[in-house]
Structure 1
Amino acid sequence: MAAAKGKALGSTGKLTELRQRIFFVIGALVVYRLGSFIPVPGVNPDAMTNLIGQSGGLLDMFNMFSGGSLGRFSVFALGVIPYISASIVVQMMGSVLPSLQALKKEGQAGQRTLTMYTRFGTVGLSAFQAFGISMALMKQSSGGMPVVYMPGYGFVLSAVVGLTAGSMFLMWLGEQMTERGIGNGISLLIFAGIVAGLPGAVTHTLGMANNGELSVLKLLMVVGLVLAVTAFCVFMERAQRRITVNYARRSGGQKAYMNQTSHLPLKINMSGVIPPIFASSLLMFPATAATWFSAGSQSHWLQNLTQMLSPGEPTYDIVYSLLVIIFAFFYTAIVFNSQETADNLKRSGALIPGIRPGRSTAEYIDAVMTRLTGVGAVYLVLVCLVPTFMQSYWHVPFYFGGTSLLIVVVVVMDFTAQIQAHLVSHQYEGLLKKANLRRS
């Protein structure tokens, strides 16, 4: 009776831990959404909203990533983009600089140092972007109204401090969600910003269908496209190339272990959503700068650059595709080391049938990974550009861009996988405790 009661209390406690983690994530997302409505002082909200609507293109996409914070010019207007950019830069430098490579091998101590560098980089990028945005907004007007009420160094200082503090708070909030919640906190913040405008988009689309502005055929096409792209993303994100691995016969005491066969799983899309995000970030800065600083000037090349780097334009599609492919290969090379994998297999007494251990194994794994990355890069380009083609050429009111839909699908899959992992670990702990009680 007492054992059954203790088991029930133990399982209740485990479920309570998972429930607390989920509630913590929900509470953090509520704080994030409330903070996105706190404006930076000195900005005319109506003029800012009109400016974002008139600019369109990449600014609209950036505004969607931030959950509408840019359109309201709230303290969270920069979102987590500075943190993502800083972390990518630190990872890239870690594969080039020997000092940072040594830090990676130091375990937790080295990781804390790299995290500190990422935080410093986030502060610098946030302050730089906030300064550029505030200086540009002082020169803007929309609908005959100036965007900034009282331009001057006072506004620039308040904007830099407010936006930088907002980005640092989001960085801290994301780290807390990762540590005390479920899933990756930064990805969940991006996910929350994207889906925040989904109810309004669905309502607007249904209103267009009721008014006759959108035909039933196009509405069904949008629904079918969403379902097809979502299913395709789920299939590709779960797809793996399994390399057969044989473990040599080993002897332990009086027992001999026969040859064992296992698999080395390699994901098709090892880089995740980093290539589309980073490609969008790189394309966003020149187009945004050209949009801001070409106002009232005679520089026609800036206006041409703005036009060419707008989503839906052939130049944008080509450059975006090339950047996604380049970053897919580059980021995969950073996160996956074929030589290190081959060395680990050799130390554990494992070998790939028909391939010699050591350098030959590393070359074989690298060749397989190169082909997989090529397929994954093409998959990312297709997913990111198909909705754009639907919007640009068929004028289909599709709220999600390809990058946004990919982020939503990957984050939801990761979140559900983390929940399942927690449940499995709790069940495993219960089985171990039960086995120990039986042995005793």
Structure 2
Amino acid sequence: MFKSVRDAFKIPDLRRRILYTLLMLAIVRIGSVMPSPLIEADAIQEYFSQASGVMALFDAMSGGAFSQMNLFAMGITPYINSSIIISLLTIAIPRLEELQKDGESGRKKIAQYTRYLTVVLALVQAFGISYSLRSVFSDAFPTAWSIILSIAVFTAGTAFVMWVGENITSKGIGNGISLIIFINILSRIPSTISTLGSQENKWMIVIIVIAAVIITAFVVALQLAERRIPVQYAKKVQGRKTYGGQSTHIPIKVNLAGVIPIIFAISLLSFPQIITGFVTATPTGWWATVLRYLSTSHPVGACLYVLLIIFFTYFYSSITFNPMEIAENMKKSGGFIPGIRPGKPTYDYLKKVSKYVIFIGAIGLAIVASLPVIMSAVTNIDGLNIGGSSLLIVVGVALETVKAVESQMVMRHYKGFLSK
């Protein structure tokens, strides 16, 4: 491993990319601890000390900047939401679907639309945050100008983080947006260790650490697992040359949807709580009971959480994996699955196999997301309920980045990180 790292730094272009990535990530971390000009960090941190659900996930993805309302408080969340919305609209709007198939120029146009939508979502989210905080910290927002300044600060922070992420993708190593989330989640490890260390029951700490190792191993297996469907291409003779005849496979990842179903499920369950926060900080009556039932710490909310994860896994996987398109492309290129006729039989076979694979992935995601919730309820330790989604993000990004470095090393005939 250390020899591979040393060999990677021997390649000038790869060394420059790695150093550029580290520099950009350092800038993100500096911005995440820069205080907001309107609110004191201690006061806002005390207000968000009991954050859970989507609030806790946002705080983890922003590296703690959200709970302190620092410069990068909203982090890259508006960009992620924008990317998801554009991906869904690509299925519904033929013009966007044409742009996606239009090569590099089309992808650049879609990326431009994603940036515009990111700014719009950032403005809306910044207004919601500033308006809800005004009811709690009225002295921090005495005038309309202070709210406008708060909106501008938060939106500018998100725009800058988006710019950094795109530059890491083009000039650095790996996916910049994913790496920003990765480094922000890792920055929360010291506070998590401090929380665990303050527990009086040391055996409980040992059990939590062992469970974390087991969950991490399960997440790695879930991320790497795939079903490979063999594909054979027919031989074609043109003149004196023979083309085709090779064998390959179609990889269907078990976790096709990634962490998106977990984010969707948490967001949907926490949406009533967020809307309520715009009106009052302490809801009462029957509405308070509804919000309590929707919390993942309640058995009803936990069951809804698992069901929503399974639903969104099927929904998003059906968008990202299109058996009809794959079957048509195979038929055009002379490919076929051994024992399956081209055309509709191939489509039916791929659809049947994908259902089983997606089902396994949905159950795996539900296990990863529900185990930390159960552990948090049993141990009464805050912060464990988002451990599954955080682990899924960290492991997925780490594997993708290692593969990116591996591909750069292989092109230059070096042994990579994945070799033994």
- Give the TM-score of the pair, scaled to structure 2: 0.90
Q: Which of the residues 115, 118, 122 maps onto 1:122?
A: 118
Matched residue, 1:319: 304
**Between the two proteins, what is the percent identity of the paired residues?**
37
Shift of 1:36: 1.0
- How far the C-alpha of 1:244 sits from its partner, in A, is 1.8
Residues paired across the two proteins, number: 407
Greater Rg, structure 1 or structure 2? 1
User: Do structure 1's residue 185 and structure 2's residue 181 form an aligned pair?
Assistant: no
Q: Is 1:282 aligned with 2:273?
A: no
Residues 14, 158 of structure 1: alpha-carbon distance in 2 compared, 3 angstrom cutoff: same
Q: For 1:53, what is the secondary structure of its paired residue?
A: coil
The CA distance in 2 between the partners of 1:162 and 1:265, in whole Å, is 44
Q: Check conservation: 1:390, 1:398, Cα contact below 8 A.
A: no
Partner of 2:12: 16
Counterpart of 2:218 in structure 1 is 232
CA distance in 2, matches of 1:258, 1:68: 54
Which 10-residue stretch deviates more, 104-113 or 322-331? 322-331
Residue number in structure 2 paired with 1:100: 96
Change in CA separation of 1:339 and 1:200 when aligned onto 2, cut-off 3 Å? same
Distance 2:204 2:409 in 1: 42
Structure 1 residue 75 and structure 2 residue 66: aligned? no
Q: Alignment partner for residue 254 of structure 2, among 268, 280, 285?
A: 268
Worse-matched range after superposition: 178-187 or 388-397: 388-397
Once residues 318 and 222 of structure 1 are traced to their aligned partners in structure 2, the CA distance between those partners, rounded to angstroms, is 22
Match of 1:37? 33
Query: Could you list the runs of 5+ residues in structure 2 that have no partner in the other structure?
Result: 1-6, 415-420
Quick check: 1:44–1:147 contact (8 Å CA) kept in 2?
no
Correspondence 1:162 to 2:153: yes
**In 1: Cα distance, 2:309 partner to 2:193 partner:** 29
- Which of 205, 214, 218 matches 2:204? 218
TM superposition shift of 1:222: 1.3
**How big is the shift at 1:243?**
1.1
Q: C-alpha separation between the residues in 2 aligned to 1:312 and 1:67?
A: 23
Distance 2:282 2:396 in 1: 42
SS in structure 2 of the partner of residue 76 of structure 1: coil
8 A contact 2:130–2:151 mirrored in 1: yes
CA displacement at 1:252 relative to structure 2: 4.3
The answer to whether the 8 Å contact 1:287/1:305 transfers is no
TM-score normalised according to structure 1 size = 0.86
Q: Which aligned segments of 4 or more residues in structure 1 are displaced greater than 6 angstroms?
A: 11-14
Determine helix, strand or coil for the equivalent of 2:281.
coil
Equivalent residue letter for 1:422:
Q
Partners of 1:225 and 1:339 in 2: how far apart? 41
Deviations 1:219-263 (A, max 9, x none): 221121111111111112111111122222332433556844332
> Structure 1 CA distance, aligned partners of 2:244 and 2:148?
70
Out of 66, 79, 87, the position equivalent to 1:91 is 87
Aligned 1:368-383 pairs, distance under 5 A: 368-383=353-368
Secondary structure of 1:241's aligned partner: strand
Distance 1:401 1:327 in 2: 19
After the TM superposition, which of the residue ranges 393-402 and 158-167 deviates more from structure 2? 393-402
Where structure 1 has 5 or more consecutive residues not aligned to the other structure, the ranges are 1-10, 141-145, 429-440
Residue of structure 1 aligned with 2:373, choices 385, 388, 407: 388
- Please tell me the residue identity of whatever aligns with 2:218: F
Q: Distance in 2 between matches of 1:58 and 1:246?
A: 46
Q: Which amino acid aligns with 1:341?
A: I
